Amino acid sequence: MLTQDVVNQFRHQTILVAGDTYIDRETYGDVLRLAPEAPVPVVKVKSRRSVPGGAANVAKNIALLGGRALLCGSFGQDEASHELCGGLPPENFRFLQLEHRPGLRLPERHRIFAANQQLLQMLNTPGPVGTTSAGIQLDRAHDAKAQALVIYDQGYGAVDSGLLRAVETLRQRSPLKVVIDGHPQHAPWYGAADLFTFNVDESLEAARRLGAHAETVDDAGRFLAKTLASDVLVTLGGDGMALFERSAAPQRIPASRVPLADRAGAGDSSTAVLALCLAAGVPLRQAAELANKAAGVVVAKPGIAYVSPEELMSLFHQEISHLLMESVDVKQRLLREQLTAIESVVRTIVDAYRDGRTVYAFGNGGSAADANHFITELVGRFMIERKALPALSFSTNEILMTSIANDYGYEQTFARQVDAFVRRGDLVVAFSTSGKSRNVVLALELARTKGATTIGFTGDAAGSFPSLCDICIRVPSDNTPRIQESHLAVVHIICELLEKELTRT
């Protein structure tokens, strides 16, 4: 599914979110001086912000991504509830008050920033906030016809064994996808879920609490996936994610390369995307990749930040422009490194044609296409009307190719043709992105012994290939498509220049 289509599915999903909820407070200011009483910064406060934290923030992320979030739990006074939903549209964000507990104070996390840099983080946890009867009440959530349930467990007390039992029952009764943002201390309580997420430390600690001594994330992830009978996603901070599926080998998903502000809120956005994707039936691997990209959007913004459906959709454009830029980048390096080599190829071909020689080209697959393209420009015309130039591709004649391959082996396919056609002074042009194609290498060796001039087109990792070529065009990249695009660009340049030279009177 294309990213666009996945994101468009979000608005049809209803997600239940339960677990630890707190208030995230942020203070922004400037530091212009030190305090007179001690050498510490004085932050002149410019603005303050309170946003929902924990389960409430996952719910908010879901709502902002277009999904319907149903936040279940106990939130104390209306004032706190109001702060939690933060003006989100009621059709996207609703409360399911599981238990009314007047006087309950939510835990708080307070971050202090100056000039977009975080200085300090303060926690204020006023005591246990367990929802004693949440487990029983969660049954009501079943009526909400949700496609997924997120349990957000920070160990603050809202997630207890009762709630987790209720989750298991609910999962057995309905096709609900269950995502648990896990807390290591509660690992022994967890039953199976569709997905568990942990950070690195949490994964190691959770494995330890389940009786395994895991040294690495890989050990921990594999163990947790097996023991919890669930897929497990470990977030690696700046290194992306590690995905441990029960049905596939562990996979790494590298982090997006973005300028980092801080990681505040990235985990919550990623959890929201995961839940929405699983609810929409998106395969886990793709869900994780999208969640990883969503986290990349969030970490570039300072403080608790969010990602919009539009931003997620624009990621697809960003991917396209990234690939185009990669191509541009290779061409720029080509410009810096290969001017002289290209010039000598032009000079050599012009001289060979003036001496009445013939040009032969060959390569495999995409390189065969490049070889044919080159020959076509010579026998036909490039841009100027002129006489035909003698040139032949060894990659075109499939009857000949299959016959040689069948009788002598594939590695002889080009060498046999070199033997048949190439004479002293002729030009042999070989294309191989890897420089390792055996049939190309053997043909070059034979061409040399027959006294031909050899020209090679290859990439960065070219083995013995360059030493077999009198002139070698080496594209400074190890990425096959980028190398082949550059080969074609160089072929066009050579054709244009030699045609100009040969038509000069």
Among 262, 268, 370, 499, binds another protein (CB under 8 A): 262
* Piece of the chain touching another protein by CB under 8 A; list 83-91, 111-119, 450-458, 488-496: 111-119
Question: Is the alpha carbon torsion for 3, 142, 193, 255 positive or negative?
Answer: positive
Q: Is the dihedral of CA 25, 7, 154, 22 positive or negative?
A: positive
Min separation Cβ 27 and another protein, Å: 6
Residue 58: phi, psi to the nearest 5? -60, -45
Task: Label residue 41 left, alpha or beta by phi (over 0 means left) and psi (-120 to 50 means alpha).
Answer: beta
Q: Who contacts 352 (Cβ-Cβ below 8 Å, separation ≥6)?
A: 359, 425, 426, 427, 453
Residues 189 to 228: which contact another protein by CB under 8 A?
A: 199, 201
User: Could you tell me which stretch among 10-18, 114-122, 210-218, 450-458 binds another protein (CB under 8 A)?
Assistant: 114-122
> Which stretch in 14-22, 93-101, 123-131, 464-472 sits in contact with another protein by CB under 8 A?
123-131
Strand arrangement of the beta sheet that strand 251-253 belongs to: 93-97, 68-73, 14-19, 148-152, 177-181, 195-199, 231-235, 241-244, 251-253
Residues near 283 by beta carbon (within 8 Å), at least 6 away in sequence:
none
Q: What is the closest distance, in whole angstroms, from the C-beta atom of residue 468 to another protein in the complex?
A: 52
Q: What is the C-alpha separation between 210 and 188, in angstroms, rounded?
A: 6
- Scanning the structure block, which residue is given the tokens 């044919």? 372
Q: Which two tokens stand for residue 189?
A: 């309580």
b/e burial code for range 261-295 (CB count within 10 A of at least 16 → b): bbbbbbbbbbbbbbbbbbbbebebeebbbbbbbbb
Amino acid at 427: L
- Check residue 325 for interaction with another protein (CB under 8 A): no
CB of 261: closest distance to another protein in angstroms?
9
Q: Cβ closer to another protein: 125 or 251?
A: 125
Helical (H) or strand (E) element with 207: helix 200-209
Binding of residue 339 to another protein (CB under 8 A): no
Residues 223-242: x where in contact with another protein by CB under 8 A, - otherwise, as a string: --------------x-----
Least spacing, CB of residue 367 vs another protein, in Å: 48
Between 154 and 367, whose beta carbon lies closer to another protein? 154
Name which of 112 and 352 has its Cβ closer to another protein: 112
Residue 45 engages another protein in binding (rule: CB under 8 A): yes
- In the complex with another protein, which residue's Cβ is closer, 295 or 472? 295
Residue 76 CB, shortest distance to another protein, in Å, is 16
Question: Which value, to the nearest 10 degrees, does the dihedral of the CA atoms of residues 359, 364, 368, 370 take?
Answer: -90
Q: Is 500 in the site for another protein (CB under 8 A)?
A: no
157 vs 390, beta carbon nearer another protein: 157
Helices (H), 86-180: 134-137, 161-173
Q: Which of 97, 125, 251, 318 binds another protein (CB under 8 A)?
A: 125
Nearest-approach distance from CB 313 to another protein, in angstroms = 26
Residues 354-393 that bind another protein (CB under 8 A): none
Cα 276 to Cα 299: distance, rounded to the nearest angstrom: 20
Residue with tokens 């691997």: 285
Specify the residue, 110 or 438, whose C-beta has the smaller distance to another protein: 110
119 versus 192: smaller Cβ distance to another protein: 119
Q: Which stretch binds another protein (CB under 8 A): 71-79, 259-267, 269-277, 337-345?
A: 259-267
Binding to another protein by residue 27, rule CB under 8 A?
yes
- Selected range binding another protein among 34-42, 215-223, 348-356, 463-471, rule: CB under 8 A: 34-42
Run of H or E including 480: helix 480-503
Work out whether 131 is an interface residue with another protein (CB under 8 A).
no
Say how many residues touch another protein, by CB under 8 A.
Answer: 27
112 interacts with another protein by CB under 8 A = yes
Element (H, E) at 28: strand 21-34
Binding site for another protein (CB under 8 A): 27, 29, 35, 37-38, 40-45, 112, 118-125, 199, 201, 237, 262-264, 266
